Amino acid sequence: MIQKIENGKSLRPRKIDQIAAVLDVNPAWLMFGEKSSSELDPESVEVAKTWNSLPEPIRSRIKRSIFEQAMLHSQK
């Protein structure tokens, strides 16, 4: 499970709340590095639900695009 999270293969793992509880951190921090909120914001939840409904070939294509955009943005 943790390997899938680290590799980005699981956007909203089913056991993330339990893992966070054992580590005494909030799930948002484990997934996104956000310390300020104990819950995902509504937009993140909506994106996660939509992501889970997509078949794998589409997920991979979207994920590549997101990473490409993030790299372009970080170079500015």
**Over the stretch 1-24, which tens digit does the pLDDT of each residue have?**
677 776 777 766 777 888 888 888
Distance CA 2, CA 20 (A): 11
Distance CA 18, CA 26 (A): 10
User: Quick one: pLDDT at residue 58?
Assistant: 94
User: Quick one: pLDDT at residue 69?
Assistant: 92
What are the φ and ψ backbone dihedral angles of 7, each rounded to 5 degrees?
Answer: -85, 0
| Residues ≥6 apart with Cβ < 8 Å to 62 | 54
When pLDDT is cut at 50, 70 and 90, the band that residue 55 belongs to is very high
Name the one residue in this structure whose structure tokens are 């005494």: 24
Distance CA 34, CA 49 (A): 19
Q: Which of 15-24, 29-38, 61-70 is least confident?
A: 29-38
Q: What is the pTM of this model?
A: 0.46
Does the pLDDT at position 61 exceed 90? yes
Widest pairwise Cα distance in the chain? 38
